[in-house]
């Protein structure tokens, strides 16, 4: 009897892994900026247009393990990750703003214990918020106003000269460098 139970347990693990889905979206409109928001709404993960509030893609949060979003080349695309309701994704978020344009990533809402931003190149990097990993490419500024108890920012492998200045809003600071795009972050818990 024990070998049969072990076999059944393995089948259940494989079955639940096979049910995992990727929520994907590719911007198709050319000639206008794309202002997107990724958020959790109860049991659903939702990607919507922030301006029109139109839902562009959605999936069950419990079975989604990855989100991929590709902006349009030459457009000013923006993705906001709203963490007001926590988002858990085993394989994280991949956001490509598209070549050219002024593409931004905004992280807002919720609170975290530990956050780490790692710059890989001038326009590419990784944000890790309590285990939720967002990888970004073709990005210009990163604006992160989510509250974090600990924030670590790692520059590129080169000799990074940085300037820290007041950010655009109250309780914010901005790190600027010629070797990577600027990062605006919250300086105190909200």
Q: What is the pLDDT of residues 92-134, one digit of tens each?
A: 999 999 988 899 999 999 989 999 999 999 899 999 999 999 9
Please check the confidence at residue 16 and state whether its pLDDT lies above 70: no
- Strand locations in 120-179, DSSP E? 125-129, 132-137, 142-144, 147-154, 163-166, 172-177
Please check the confidence at residue 2 and state whether its pLDDT lies above 60: no
Backbone dihedral angles phi then psi of residue 50, each to the nearest 5 degrees: -65, -30
Please check the confidence at residue 14 and state whether its pLDDT lies above 60: no
Mean pLDDT computed over 2-13:
36
pLDDT of residue 155: 86
Taking the model in full, what pTM does it have?
0.85
pLDDT of residue 1: 44
Average pLDDT, the chain: 86
- Write down the domain spans for the chain: 22-186
Greater pLDDT, 8 or 170 = 170
**Percent of the chain whose pLDDT exceeds 90:** 61
CA distances in angstroms from 138 to 9, 104, 111, 147, listed in the order given: 43, 9, 26, 25
Mean pLDDT computed over 27-35:
78
């Amino acid at each position: 009897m024990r070998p049969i139970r072990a076999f059944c347990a393995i089948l259940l693990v494989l079955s639940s892994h096979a049910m995992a889905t990727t929520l994907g979206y590719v911007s198709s409109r050319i000639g206008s900026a794309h202002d997107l928001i990724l958020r959790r709404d109860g049991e659903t993960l939702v990607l919507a247009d922030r301006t029109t509030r139109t839902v562009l893609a959605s999936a069950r949060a419990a079975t989604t393990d990855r989100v991929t979003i590709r902006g349009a080349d030459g457009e000013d695309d923006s993705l906001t990750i709203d963490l007001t309701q926590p988002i858990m994704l085993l394989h994280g978020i991949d956001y490509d703003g598209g070549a050219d344009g002024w593409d931004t990533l905004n992280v807002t809402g919720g609170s975290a214990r530990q956050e780490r931003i790692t710059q890989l190149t001038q326009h590419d990097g990784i944000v890790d918020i309590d285990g939720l990993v967002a990888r970004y490419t073709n990005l210009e500024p990163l604006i992160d106003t989510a509250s974090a108890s600990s924030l670590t920012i790692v520059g590129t492998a080169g000799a990074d000269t940085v300037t820290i200045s007041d950010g655009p809003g109250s309780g914010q600071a901005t790190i600027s460098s010629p070797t990577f795009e600027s990062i605006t972050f919250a300086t105190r818990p909200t």
